[in-house]
Amino acid sequence: GDSVTQMEGPVTLSEEAFLTINCTYTATGYPSLFWYVQYPGEGLQLLLKATKADDKGSNKGFEATYRKETTSFHLEKGSVQVSDSAVYFCALSDRKGSSYKLIFGSGTRLLVRP
Amino acid sequence: EAQVTQNPRYLITVTGKKLTVTCSQNMNHEYMSWYRQDPGLGLRQIYYSMNVEVTDKGDVPEGYKVSRKEKRNFPLILESPSPNQTSLYFCASRTSGITDTQYFGPGTRLTVL
């Protein structure tokens, strides 16, 4: 079945460091790919998405490119801030019968130190 | 403001005492889901609903019930809670397209003693 694999955390960085969180997926169809972020004590919220191969999603300085050849959707940011500390979830949306199912990775906790 | 609300946010209960967690959305979304979040396991879908009176099992439905009598509400029912249902629960909603954003509630932290 479809699945999403993320690098294990926690990832600890100093402020202004470069961030990469790896995400790979397995899917039988042509999924859409998402990154969601969960700040402490809150629900998940969409960070960015890409709906087809070679699309780049971007938001708040974060980017991720849909790479079909490597089945990857790695999250990157050039210069992280303390406020980026959160848990990041990679997810895919694929057809399930007449509906679409969202499948999540296990999440990667990011801690940014001043 | 577009939002998904859940109540209660925190709940401590005892084994076997029936409880309901409410979920409501104001975006007129057809699709609603319940997830549980456990350390190292990410989010696992419990149940989902494609529209009023249409519900189906997700990946971990055992021990849970849902109903969808109105489009905006999707309560989660634990008829006889057990300690292994101690978890963080999220309700979510979206429209039915494959690329559509899913909106999450703030979460309900449930502890079953």
Answer whether A104 touches B (CB < 8 Å). Answer: yes
Residues of B in contact with A41 (CB under 8 A): 106
The bridge status of strand A11-14 relative to strand A108-113 is parallel
pLDDT of residue A59: 96
Residue B16 pLDDT exceeds 90: yes
Q: CA quadruple A112, A107, A53, B49: dihedral positive or negative?
A: negative
Residues of B in contact with A102 (CB under 8 A): 33, 45, 102
Q: Which two tokens stand for residue A59?
A: 């938001």
The minimal CB distance from A104 to the residues B43, B99, B103 is found for: B43
Alpha carbons A11 and B20: distance in angstroms, whole number:
36
Distances (CA, A) of A84 to A36, B45, B92: 12, 26, 23
pLDDT of residue A94: 78
Residues of A in contact with B106 (CB under 8 A): 41-43
Contact B7, B22 (CB under 8 A): yes
The minimal CB distance from B96 to the residues A42, A45, A99 is found for: A99
Residue B18 pLDDT exceeds 90: yes
Q: Which percentage of chain A shows pLDDT scores above 70? A: 96
Query: In sequence order, which residues have a C-beta less than 8 Å from that of residue B62 and are 6 or more positions away?
Result: none
- State the first-to-last Cα distance of chain B, in angstroms, to the nearest integer: 36
pLDDT of residue A30: 83
Residues of B in contact with A51 (CB under 8 A): 98-99
The CA distance from A59 to the nearest CA of chain B, in Å, is 14
The CA distance from B7 to the nearest CA of chain A, in Å, is 13
The minimal CB distance from B99 to the residues A51, A98, A101 is found for: A51
Residue A101 pLDDT exceeds 90: no
pLDDT tens for A53-97 read 999 999 999 999 999 999 999 999 999 999 999 999 999 987 766
Q: How many CB pairs under 8 A join A and B?
A: 54
Residue B98 pLDDT exceeds 80: no
Q: What is the mean pLDDT of chain B?
A: 93
pLDDT tens for B27-66 read 999 999 999 999 888 899 999 998 899 999 998 999 999 9
Distances (CA, A) of B41 to A2, A44, A107: 15, 15, 8
Least confident of A91-100, B73-82, B99-108: A91-100
